[in-house]
Every structure is written in C-alpha cells, then in structure tokens.
Structure 1
C-alpha cells in the first residue's frame, strides 16, 4: 500500500482566508463569531454567525467568472488554489489521469437557488438564469476545481452532511493508498449563512441565541451551551502518494494514516445519544492506521455545542479509548469558527496538521462551566504546548454519517 502525505493546504474561514491567519487566530483562542451583517436579521431569533470576511470573488476570478459561481464554489476554488500553491504543484507536469478531486458541500448553492425562485415569482420563467442548475448543485465545487486544473482522474462530491470534509479526505486517501491515483485535491466547502437556512435551523431550536455576546455563543461541552452557531468557508488539502511527492521534491507537511466511516442508522438529524456510530468510525480509523488507542496524542472533536451531540461524542471517545480517554487532550475548533457544515472537516484537518507540527493544541474556548457528563480533557480556554505525533479528527453529519481520519507528523 502507498503511503499518503499532505503537501498543501488552503482555507477560507471566519478566522481568516489563509492558513497562517487561520492558525494564528485559532491557537490564540480568538472567536470568529459576530453579528450577521450581510442581510437583515431583525425578525430572527439568532442574529450571529461565523461569516467569511474580506473575500472578493470578482477580484479573485474576474467579474464574468465569479458571476457563474455560487459562493460555495468560489470559496472552494480559492482554497484549492492556495493548497496547490502551498504544495508548489505544477499541475501541467503531472499525469492528469491520476490526478483527481474529492470536494463536497452539504447544502450547495442556496443563495443562487433562492435568488432564482424570487426571479421566477416576480419576473417570470423567462428571466430565470440558465446557469441556475450548474451553479447550485453541490458537485460543482469539485467540477470547477477539476476544470480549472485539468484533473482528469476520479472526481466526485461526497454528500455526507457535516462529515463531508473527512469523508472526502478519507476516500481520497483510500484511492491513493490503493495505487489508483497519485494526487488528490480533497476537502469541503459551504456558504449556507443565508436567511432561509438561518430560519430553518432557528425554528428547529438548534441555534444559539446568545446574540449579545456572539464570541461566547459557541461553547462545546459547557453546561450553559444553548445550540450551535452557523459558519461558512472551505478547507482543502493536497494529498499525494509518498513516492510521487518525493519524486518531485515536495515539502511534505504530514501524513494521513487512517480513515473510518459508519452510520448511526438512528435518526435523520439527531446523533445517536450513546455515540454508537461515532465509536465505530473512530475504531475503524485506528484499525485502518494500524495503531492502538494508546498511540493517539490528541483528538479534534466534532463538538458542535449541542447537548446531545457533545455528550454522545464524549461517550464514544470513552468507549474507543477506554482508560486512556481521560488523558488525551481534546480540542473543539467550532468554539471559534462556528459550525462550517460541509467545510468543517477540511478546516479541522488543516488545524490538526498544524497542531501536530507545532506541538500546540488550540483551546476549546468558552468552556467556563463544564457539563458534569462531559468530563474529559477539552483543553479549556488556553492553548497547550505538548509534544505530539498522531492525532484523530472526528466529523459527524445529519442522517447519521460519521467519519474519522488519523493524521501523523511526517517521518521518513
């Protein structure tokens, strides 16, 4: 089996639109949650989100091209561009038939869809954009990246809700590991901070309404949490076979060594309260990596800041790691980014790789009154410096989709 390494990373997020800025803010414990200012939230119960700032699609891609892409595509394309630059990968110098793209989105082009519904209602069918469908469908981020960089290999858009990033990375890892590809662009993207989605999640009583203190709203594992916070962005990485990376003299940033996936088979939105599927995904990831629970130095939790989800994940970690569970540091990036849905897994993989390489675990902020039933080491409020080698990252999604990936510092 081929070893699979990470050679490039790119991000768009509420904490910054490049890896350096994102990572600096994350380890400093800065929140990217703020009042929504892109649409009127007067009549909404929740008025806060993790929005992407300082992103100008027209400046990046030109007005003509930007107008053909929903923002979820723009985010993905820019993050992919960063990742390829970071990898110093000249895509015209590689075997394009062994170069693929696995990038997904949970909701796709919701802005494009709603805008055209309004056009249909107000101006008639003749004014609906002929580009509506190719702009809104969730596979279009992967397609746009493939077209731009002439990736002729396997290209798909996994739709596993909030576990998309890990699913994409894990399936791309499998493809390279089996020898079917040399290079894969993998991750997830989302642009769902929109009135329709905000209203729906709000009516489901899933969102925090801590509008007077947005930076404190996302509080995984805290007894006073009142729901999750929506977020947007994209997290994309470049994966290569070790042989391919070495042959072109690439700077290797880390290694993917394991991946596990499962289904709760329980409920369309609620995660299993006992964390059954989450445990299975973690167990399979460790088996795939050929390591034991004792080998894991840090866990990046899914941890959305919901009571059922946080408790279920805590139980799953305890079941997976047994007596060691209480001694493994656990970080919850969503305390600062909010829940980036399909983009979360990719962003958190980037954060975990930085964590391993720098030996700094970002804090779980706003953990002021720990839930007595969530009694593990969640690295509360302050980053922690500690020697690290192997980390596991969890992502779980609506429908009971669970995925876990295992990353390691690169060793020759």
Structure 2
C-alpha cells in the first residue's frame, strides 16, 4: 500500500511530493499526471513567485538552480486610467525589497520550476507516472482505493488532489464549491521589447480589467491582459496585426518597439472556492481547492502555502505515529489554510469589481485610496509583507526551514 498518492504533477503536486519525501524519506509516494513526460518543456508561460515561496523552494534545495533563470521584480507601478487617456498617472508604487533585502517576488519561466522539481522527485524516490490519471476512487476507514487510467488499482493511506480548478476528484469526493464567472478572460503571452525594463512590473487598471506587464530575463516581459471574454477570444483567435495594435495601445511606447514572441492564449476567469478542503482519506491543494482572479498575482503562491501547510501536517503526524490520512490529522491542514484562502478570494473579488469598471465616482474613490496608500510607507510595507514574509504562525517551509 502507498502512503500518499498525488493526482496532478504540476508545481503544487510535485512540491507536495518533494516536501514530504525530503522530510520523511520512508513514506512511499506516487505522483500521476495526465500530461506526457516532456510536456512541461513546451510551457512558454511564467509565474510570479513571492519571497515566501522562494524560501520554500530554497529549503527544498531547488532555488539556487531556479534563480539564474529568474527575474527579480525591483519595483511595482500601479496606474488607473481609461484606454483612450493620453497620460496614465501613477497612483501607487512599491519598492521591490522586503525586510531582509531580497526582492518581494521573482518572475520565473514555468519550465525553470518544473524541471528541478521533477529531478528532485526522481532523486528522492518518488514514483512518477506520466500520461496517467485517477479515473475513480473510493475511500473507507482503512485507505483510499484509486483506479488509474492504465487500469491499475492503487491503495493509499491518503489521496492528494492537485488536478486543477476543474478538479474531477473534488467532484468525486462530493465537495461542493462557491463559484462565479467574471465574464472576463486573461490573455497570456510574452513580448520582446527594444529597451530594458529595469525589473519594473506595471499593472494598469483599465475598464475591462487589469493589464499587467511583468519583467522576464532580458528585454522580455510576460503579459496578463484581462478583457471581456468575447473580446479576449476575438483578439486571441483574430488577425496578428490587430492583436499587436491593441497590445501597443495598452502597453505604450516607453520600452520601444514590441514583438510578440510567445503563443497567445486566453483563460476564462472566475472565483472557485472549495467548501471543504478534506474528505475521507482525501485532501485538496492548489487550484483544486481555490481558483482566484489574477489581479493580485497570488494564485500560485496560495498553492505553495498549501504545500507548506500540508507537508508540515503530514510530517508531524507521521513523527507522532499517527495515521496520516485520518480526519483529525487532515483537519489541522484545513484549519490552517481555509480562512487564508477565503480571505484572499474575497480580497481579489472586491479588487476586481472595484477596478474593472469606468464609473466616475468609484474611480475617484479608488484613486484617492491608492494615493493615500502611496503616501503611507508603513501601509505599503504591510501589503508587501502580507504576500512576501512568513509569520510565526505560518508553516516552517515558508520561512525557509524543513518541517
């Protein structure tokens, strides 16, 4: 019998396996993923990794391998304007350093994270199965019994579902969600520009949704461009010249000529929060537990917080000789993560509704609020620290130490 079966071999699933296996090498862990073995090499996207998440990766011995391919965010600039405005006034800026002098976040190409995680999992003895999914499972007091797409039947003391926002295992476990669609899609692509970005990230709040420019190594930037879903689909599937013209209207000219160098993709945006993070012999982590609006750039970092909390919960229980799949053990993980997740979900929902409109009184109120925050260094530091620094109540991995 396995100790842990992880369904989903993305950042969260692999990080769960590596974190637990590194702290408790005797536990038998398997990771199954629907994608082919080398699919991650073709992922052209990049992700914002907050300081706490980079400390987790450092504790796993991976950050030194990732860092040479990462771009520190040295400064964050926030504007609020209409698309036709000739000038975009800056209402809020954040210095990119946290208390210990490190950047509050890095932009990391996705393959630069997946590659080291896969290597570490293999070296630690995690059983990796690609092009394989859990098609069904049942649980009882003794174990979770999963049937794989290969026909193999696996018994495990705990099944960890990291199979994404549309998690089929979450549905199979009977866990309900709070969900609504924003009517927006996030266009993601990579651009190359003539002049250096100096590590500055920009977020322009426009009536259709935020337009974020996130620096990558070299003269390149990753874009997260929010539009109404119909408009986003038309832009992604339409003429390249139209796409580039609309992109230039939003990006501006201060970095010189632009060239799209990555694929154009649009992802529907909504809020999805699981009503429970656990069931019998079963736990949710990452997007399977929560899908939030990218307005704050915290989606993946919420997943890394799940990793830290789940790893510490499982390792502590194992050291005490407890059943790692027991409900009272998993309840600790749920208590640790559910309130923080709901708070972030509500925060991003309010921010999106506040900024994705062109109602004049609301614009005046939010611009006043942004300007007020910009003039209060202690308040700005609070917002940075919320996303970047682990507190004493947080799991040990977020502070850079193994559980």
The structure with the greater share of residues assigned to strand is 2
TM score, norm. by length of structure 2: 0.29
TM score, norm. by length of structure 1: 0.29
Report which of the two structures shows the higher radius of gyration computed on alpha carbons.
2
